[in-house]
Amino acid sequence: MIYRRYFLTLAAASVWLSVSHAAHAQPAEKAASFIKSTGDKIVDVVNSPGSPSSKRAAMTQIVDRYVDVDEIGRFCLGRYWRQATPEQKKQYLSLFREVLVTNITSKVGEYQGVRFTMGRSRMEDEDAVVSTTVDRPNIPPAAVDWLVSNPGSNPRIIDVKAEGTSLRLTQRQDYASYLAHNNNNIDALITAMRNQVSQSSQAG
């Protein structure tokens, strides 16, 4: 009887583990499919013969649809987000979107023949991490991990790690450093961001 109970316990545990693993793996698989589709769209823009302005417009559509810009923006402002007024938050997020698109598209025109290779995907708490390799002509392949929120229902990109360096964490550190050198003045940061967007549009 003891052996029978032991066997049944093991059987139940194995079933539970298999179901748990399947439920855990499914969001990661959905995230991988999401990144594959999004990555293909990005590569199409990068490799296209279009003008810088047309590439920026296409990349803006991708960012708006597949990237959680507001979430990344709040993360990058860190503790200062709680200190900002509603109007400052509105201006900051609007400018952050422009800065994000500018940072992405500033490199788009520099490459042709980019290839995008999928790697493994895994869950980290409630988010999914999808590993990829980006190949560019005459440049060593780059390992790029994509952090995806809500992978099972409404996947959105919330971070990109290039060779282990988190882009949103780097941006957060840059903003914190700027604010620390400007008396924690959020308006000063907003002005600097506005100037950055203005200069980029003039250069384009």
Please give the pLDDT value at position 142: 87
121 near 127, Cβ under 8 Å?
A: no
The letter for the amino acid at 26 is Q
Classify the phi-psi angles of 122: left when phi > 0, otherwise alpha if psi is within -120 to 50, otherwise beta: beta
Please give the pLDDT value at position 148: 97
The tokens describing 57, both together, are 């417009």
Average confidence (pLDDT) over 9-18: 40
User: Using CA atoms, how far apart are residues 106 and 67, in angstroms rounded to an integer?
Assistant: 17
Q: Is pLDDT of 182 > 90?
A: yes
57 near 49, Cβ under 8 Å?
A: no
How big is the CA angle at 152 (ends 147 and 37), to the nearest 5 degrees? 60
Phi, psi of 78 (to 5 degrees): 60, -135
Q: First CA to last CA across the chain, in angstroms?
A: 79
User: Using CA atoms, how far apart are residues 152 and 26, in angstroms rounded to an integer?
Assistant: 7
Average confidence (pLDDT) over 174-202: 91
Cross-strand bridge partners of residue 157 = 67, 148
- The count of C-alpha atoms lying within 13 angstroms of the C-alpha of 91, restricted to the half-sphere facing its C-beta, is 14
Q: Could you give the 3-state DSSP secondary structure of residue 183?
A: coil
Per-residue model confidence as pLDDT tens digits over 28-77: 999 999 999 999 998 888 888 878 888 888 989 999 999 999 999 999 99
Contacts of 167 (CB under 8 A, 6+ apart): 159, 160, 161
Under CATH, to which class is 23-199 assigned?
A: alpha beta
